[in-house]
Amino acid sequence: MGGVLGNAGRAAVQFASGRGLALILLVALIAIRAIDPPVLEALRLRTFDFYQLIKPREKPVQLVPAVRIVDIDEASLAEFGQWPWPRNLLADLVNAITQRGGIAVGFDFIFSEADRLSPDTYAQSLPNLPPALESELGTLPSTDAMFADQIRKSRVVLGQSGSIEAPRSADEAAVQQTPIAQLGGDPKPYLLSYKGLLRNIDVLETAALGRGLLSVQPDQDAIIRRVPLVTAIDDTIQPALTVDLLRVATGQSTFVTKMDEAGMTSVVIGGVEIPTDRNGRLWVYYTPHDKDRYVSAADLLTGRAPVERIANSLVLIGTSSIGLHDIKATPMGENIPGVEIHAQLLETVISGTYLKRPNYAIGAEIVIATVVSLGVVVLVPMLGALAGLGFGAVMTALVTGGAWYLFSEQRVLIDIVYPSAAGFAVFLTQMFLNYRREEVQRRQIRNAFGQYLAPAMVEQLAKDPELLSLGGETRELTLLFSDVRGFTAISETYKSNPEGLTALMNRFLTPLSNAIIEKNGTIDKYMGDAVMAFWNAPLDDPDHAPNACEAALEMIAHVNELNAERKAEADATGQPFLPLNVGIGVNTGEAVVGNMGSDMRFDYSVLGDAVNLASRLEGQSKTYGLPIIVGSATAKSVGDRFALAEIDLIRVKGKAEPEHIFGLFGDAEMAASDGFKAMKAANDAMLAAYRDRNWSGVRDALSAIFTNGATFDVDDYLTLYRDRIAAFEVEPPPPDWDGVYDATTK
């Protein structure tokens, strides 16, 4: 029973630590999108704001009909008195608009009470008024009646507002329904709803051709992005002020709502279909605030405003006065009068420049997030860290570019925050799991091989136990570092077979270790797939530099043999084959060697600048595309006993002084071969031309190296120099350039 549970537990751990955990995260991210928490909505809305900031709606030069705002501004209040104005003055204002050819008038005000300045009402409000004067005032016309009479003579739509309070009487509940046709079903379950309605007084409402809601609902950050075109009031559906103004202006008796299975899709007025979101709201496509929309009410009442400012226009009457508190925030980062939001909405409809957030948008965003995340789950473990990061960057660019294209060309709002965040979260999870898995595997390899020492070291410790005390000495050593390129990708192929990975690393490290020990080297430590070794300690080795070079060549030979064996095995079983590619750095110099650590635990190891340089040279083997790179001291020490060729003068990371570095291509037999001599001569000529800034000479020499070095696998090395001189031809090095290349990586 315990064995069964143990196997099940190991399987569960492998599932949770691999792609399974990433898939679970993806499911959680989809659930989060379905819930749509406020923080996610806020990020999405800010993204849509950014779209408009980059590309706001262009205000048409000739919009037919034009949209104008008659503004009860500070100048109007100063000239005609504080608000509220007497209704006869508003009647004059409507008359002035009508006389100048205004098509229809919409009020961004609600006249819910009788005019207190009407003569009959005003007389009742004055104490101790002589009866004769009171009677005479009572015989004067009501300003509300005068206003209603002018409303009848014009195309006027009055504003209304939704109320959270239920009607208190039958009269309040008697909401006048604007005629409506419904296609596809009843939209009320999807609409912004109110229990009651704040209306105008009856004498005005019965005189007007239309009534429209002024109610808008800002988003959680108080910015108005969407305006409901229709709203549910109890059991009725009421149009927005802009909708009913368009209905009245076009002479229509009804408007139409259209639905699909996800909610509302549009409102139709006079044959024009206006797209909405599922809740009946239209996204306002803003332009920057434009004073040209505004005409001062005072200029109209006094006749100062030219006729063409109003003629053939839909007119909204509102206020920009700060004291009347009708200032709203917009996605453009501006605070504008509330009446301008209705004006911009009208312009959006008339110009047909709708922002569309289709009902399928949520599903599309979830699909995009799923595709991106699954791509990360499947490909990142195969690609490795750098290529995986590149894949993530490409996917993010595609999502962002696609969303921007839809907005800029089709005015469709698609969120990029959620798909990008979902893919990035899965990417980070996958990269963490890969890193963690590699860390565990390296630790297993380190524990398995970290105890091994050269036989000479064991023998000396047996003879002289004093060596186990802390301390060290300075002596000249030759250091060797080796590491496997692309270990993550290789280990990923063994994710379900850790025993196979262990066997592979045993099979790999054993011949490498033997090559070091057979050449009198001491293995300092194993760092996962990496090996650190040194020569000339603890026992003296006069040939420590040649022995280290011979060991490096033997290590590469063993790796090539192992790769050939593994390829044959993979071909026989039909399994994929990833070769083991090793980079080696060798350097000679003084270092401190001895037992280092604490009284409780210590290791026989080395410290010093020469050690650090050897490690850096191993890292540069990838940059230069050569398996073995040695330092100048090592090259000088071995002389012509090996096929060595200088490859650069480099300042490695962490060092101030430059170092001549050499590629180790083979033994003395290769060094004496005609092919190597020709290749080395061409290489020396290339370096001389390079340091002399003779770029054409470099190219000629590189061609000669390629011709003579075909058997030495120097393609990456040649490409590196071709890229360098190409860059120098575009941007030459400074006059004091000494030919030193500053390495930016370890």
Q: What is the pLDDT of residues 543-591, one digit of tens each?
A: 999 999 999 999 999 999 999 999 999 899 888 888 999 999 999 999 9
Q: What is the pLDDT of residue 305?
A: 92
Question: Quick check: 127 pLDDT over 90?
Answer: no
Question: Quick check: 185 pLDDT over 50?
Answer: yes
In the numeric block, the tokens 């962490």 are attached to 654
pLDDT tens for 9-29 read: 444 444 445 677 778 888 888
Averaged over 165-172, what is the pLDDT? 63
Q: Which of 368, 367, 351, 180 is nearest to 280 (CA)?
A: 180
Q: Of residues 599 and 545, which shows the higher confidence score?
A: 545
φ, ψ dihedrals at 648, nearest 5°: 180, 165
Averaged over 246-253, what is the pLDDT? 94
Question: Quick check: 451 pLDDT over 60?
Answer: no
Q: Are strands 643-651 and 741-742 parallel, antiparallel or unpaired?
A: parallel
pLDDT tens for 357-409 read: 888 888 888 888 888 888 877 777 777 667 777 887 888 888 889 999 999 99
**325 class by beta-carbon count within 10 Å (0-12 exposed, 13-18 middle, 19+ buried):** exposed
Q: How confident is the model at residue 128 (pLDDT cuts 50, 70, 90)?
A: low
Q: At what angle do helices 38-54 and 385-410 cross, to 10 degrees?
A: 60
Quote the percentage of the chain above a pLDDT of 70: 87
Q: What is the pLDDT of residue 450?
A: 43
| Cα(584)–Cα(718) distance, integer angstroms | 19
Q: What is the pLDDT of residue 85?
A: 93
Q: How confident is the model at residue 446 (pLDDT cuts 50, 70, 90)?
A: very low
**Residue spans of beta strands (DSSP E) within 118-189:** 156-163, 180-183
708 CB-near residues (< 8 Å, 6+ apart): 675, 678, 679, 682
Q: Which amino acid is at 226?
A: R
Residue 88 near residue 143 (C-beta atoms within 8 A): yes
Asked if the peptide bond before residue 84 counts as cis, ω within 30 degrees of 0, the response is yes
pLDDT tens for 680-729 read: 999 999 999 999 999 999 999 999 998 876 678 899 999 999 999 999 99
Between the CA of residue 11 and those of 86, 282, 431, what are the distances in Å?
A: 82, 52, 21
Indicate the SS3 state at residue 380.
Answer: helix
**627 class by beta-carbon count within 10 Å (0-12 exposed, 13-18 middle, 19+ buried):** buried
Question: Quick check: 107 pLDDT over 90?
Answer: yes
pTM: 0.57
pLDDT tens for 401-440 read: 999 999 999 999 998 888 888 888 888 887 777 777 766 6
Question: Quick check: 117 pLDDT over 90?
Answer: no
| Cα(578)–Cα(566) distance, integer angstroms | 9
DSSP for 394-412? HHHHHHHHHHHHHHHHH-B
Question: Quick check: 4 pLDDT over 60?
Answer: no
CA dihedral 372, 373, 376, 379 (to 10 degrees): -80
Q: What is the pLDDT of residue 529?
A: 86
What is the distance of C-alpha 438 from the center of its chain?
Answer: 28
Q: What is the pLDDT of residue 32?
A: 84
Q: What is the pLDDT of residue 428?
A: 81
Determine how many CB atoms are found less than 10 A away from the CB of residue 407: 22
Tokens representing 53 are 């900031």
pLDDT tens for 311-323 read: 999 999 999 988 7
Question: Quick check: 92 pLDDT over 70?
Answer: yes
Write out the H or E segment, with its range, that includes residue 589.
Answer: strand 581-597
Determine how many CB atoms are found less than 10 A away from the CB of residue 486: 15
Determine how many CB atoms are found less than 10 A away from the CB of residue 367: 13
Averaged over 648-660, what is the pLDDT? 89
605: β partners:
594
22 CB-near residues (< 8 Å, 6+ apart): 373, 376, 377, 426, 429, 430, 433
Q: What is the pLDDT of residue 452?
A: 43
SS (H, E, C) 272-330: EEEECCCCCEEECCCCCCCHHHEEEHHHHHHCCCCHHHCCCEEEEEECCCHHHCCEEEC
Question: Quick check: 6 pLDDT over 50?
Answer: no
φ, ψ dihedrals at 575, nearest 5°: -90, 155
What CATH superfamily is the domain 450-614? Nucleotide cyclase, GGDEF domain (3.30.70.1230)
pLDDT tens for 460-492 read: 554 554 554 445 789 999 999 999 987 878 888
Q: How confident is the model at residue 449 (pLDDT cuts 50, 70, 90)?
A: very low
Residue spans of the domains in the chain: they are 2-53+359-433, 60-351, 450-614, 639-746
Averaged over 484-502, what is the pLDDT? 83
Q: Of residues 527 and 554, which shows the higher confidence score?
A: 554
Q: What is the pLDDT of residue 468?
A: 46
- Among 5-14, 238-247, 530-539, top mean pLDDT goes to 238-247
Q: What is the pLDDT of residue 61?
A: 74
pLDDT tens for 144-159 read: 999 999 999 999 999 9
Quote the percentage of the chain above a pLDDT of 90: 57
Question: Quick check: 334 pLDDT over 80?
Answer: yes
Residue 417 near residue 43 (C-beta atoms within 8 A): yes
Q: Which of 111, 348, 174, 96 is nearest to 246 (CA)?
A: 348
Q: What is the mean pLDDT of the chain?
A: 86
